[in-house]
């Protein structure tokens, strides 16, 4: 394989990975996030929102899109994003935010000192929006003690004096925070649940999303030739965005490395086998009859309907 071919694969896959396709609550959450950045210009106090949902539905893509558009409009320090990891603490969160601002002492200070410097830095740099992704890592097991909840709530109350707005993103266990304190509910007034596309309810929306990816691929001189492409993609991914991107980028690799300018069902099948677990989608979606594909998708939605679901806000406050 030539160097030029490697570059073509890299360029095309980067185009797929960077593609942000608005849809449903993703679009609403993006619009709300962008509006949070204008509050200071309007003399309004900072506000916030929570974005939650299962893995692979676009939460991280959303936060990265807000960072990209926000910094382009308002400057590098106007929007700061950090992504928490397992075992994160409030002190660690403060530290990571200061790292984002380029603070050389971000990892060598007490919690109080980090808190003080973070407040000063937010004000000095005129930061408009702080984005914290994977916020569920502050909530061990999704069932934190009252002490842990109080520490988290106090952290946001302290930062509130800067007037900065927040976007918190993570698994649905983050709603424990929203339900834990009235002041947090008033601070994070909106919340958006991002879900997998539902079948057949969201079939037309899913088709629109997959076709946009096909268009992106086509702009680089590569064609996709696969009967019933959208339906097969849905069954393979169970309607989740991250697995879709994984399949497409892997199929691009498969096709171009074999010298083909066309992505076929065979390339997509090989990519699905490599990237998708049988618990997460139909691994042979590109190698079986359309009838089996559609039956899988219909049965998948039946299983989701029967599965236990997290309590909605109406249930929480109806008690």
Report the half-sphere exposure of 188 (CA within 13 A, side-chain side): 28
Lowest-confidence pick of 28-37, 68-77, 83-92, 230-239:
83-92
What's the pLDDT score for residue 305? 57
- Can you tell me the distance from the alpha carbon of 201 to that of 274, in angstroms, rounded to the nearest whole number? 28
**Two tokens, residue 190:** 């909106």
**Residue 183 tokens, joined:** 């002041």
Q: Which of 35-44, 128-137, 175-184, 214-223 has the weakest average pLDDT? A: 175-184
H or E stretch including 157? Answer: helix 146-159
* pLDDT given for residue 310 in this prediction: 40
Tell me which of 66-70, 143-147, 198-202, 259-263 is least confident: 143-147
d(CA 201, CA 148): 40
pLDDT for residue 225 is more than 60:
yes
Least confident of 20-24, 165-169, 271-275, 313-317: 313-317
> What pTM did the predictor assign?
0.82
Quick one: angle between helices 229-237 and 241-257, nearest 10? 120
Pairing mode of beta strands 165-170, 79-83: unpaired
pLDDT confidence of 312, banded at 50, 70, 90?
very low
Mean pLDDT of 272-287: 96
Span 80-106, pLDDT tens digits:
999 999 889 999 999 999 999 999 989
For residues 84 and 96, the answer to whether their CB atoms sit within 8 Å is yes
Instruction: Judge contact between 165 and 48, C-beta under 8 A.
Output: yes
Per-residue pLDDT at 268: 98
The reported pLDDT for the residue numbered 304 is 64
Return d(Cα 225, Cα 229) in angstroms, integer.
Answer: 8
Instruction: List every span in the chain annotated with CATH 3.40.50.300.
Output: 37-194
State the Cα–Cα distance between residues 185 and 192, nearest whole angstrom.
13
CATH level 3 topology of 37-194: Rossmann fold (3.40.50)
SS3 of residue 293 by DSSP: helix
For 122-158, the pLDDT digits (tens) are 999 999 999 999 999 988 776 777 888 888 888 888 8
Give CA–CA dist 212/316, Å, rounded: 38
* ∠ CA 266-271-277, rounded to 5°: 125
Q: What is the 3-state secondary structure (H, E, C) of 188-229?
A: EEEEEEECCCCCCCCHHHHHHHHHHHHHHHHCCCCEEECCCH
């Amino acid at each position: 394989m030539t160097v030029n071919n490697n570059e073509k694969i890299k360029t095309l896959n980067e185009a797929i990975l960077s593609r942000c396709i608005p849809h449903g609550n993703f679009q609403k959450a993006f619009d709300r996030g962008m509006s949070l950045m204008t509050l200071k210009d309007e003399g309004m106090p900072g506000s916030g929102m929570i974005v939650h949902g299962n893995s692979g539905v676009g939460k991280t893509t959303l936060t990265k899109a807000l960072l990209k558009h926000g910094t382009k409009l308002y400057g590098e320090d106007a929007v700061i994003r950090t992504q928490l990891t397992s075992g994160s603490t409030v002190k660690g969160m403060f530290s990571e935010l200061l790292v984002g601002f380029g603070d050389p002492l971000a990892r060598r200070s007490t919690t109080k000192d980090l808190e003080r410097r973070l407040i000063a830095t937010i004000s000095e740099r005129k930061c408009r929006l702080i984005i914290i992704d994977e916020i569920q890592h502050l909530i061990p097991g999704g069932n934190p003690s009252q002490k842990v909840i109080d520490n988290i709530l106090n952290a946001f109350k302290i930062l509130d004096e800067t007037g900065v707005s927040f976007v918190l993103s993570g698994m649905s266990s983050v709603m424990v925070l929203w339900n834990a304190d009235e002041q947090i509910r008033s601070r994070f007034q909106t919340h958006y649940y991002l879900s997998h596309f539902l079948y057949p309810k969201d079939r037309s929306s899913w088709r629109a999303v997959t076709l946009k990816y096909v268009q992106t691929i086509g702009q680089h001189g590569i064609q996709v030739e696969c009967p019933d492409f959208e339906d097969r993609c849905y069954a393979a991914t169970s309607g989740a965005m991250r697995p879709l991107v994984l399949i497409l980028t892997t199929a691009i690799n498969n096709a171009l490395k074999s010298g083909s300018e066309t992505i076929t069902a065979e390339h997509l099948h090989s990519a699905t086998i490599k990237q998708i677990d049988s618990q997460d989608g139909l691994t042979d979606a590109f190698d079986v009859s359309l009838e089996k594909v559609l039956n899988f998708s219909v049965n998948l939605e039946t299983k989701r309907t029967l599965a236990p679901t997290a309590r909605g806000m109406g249930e929480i406050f109806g008690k």
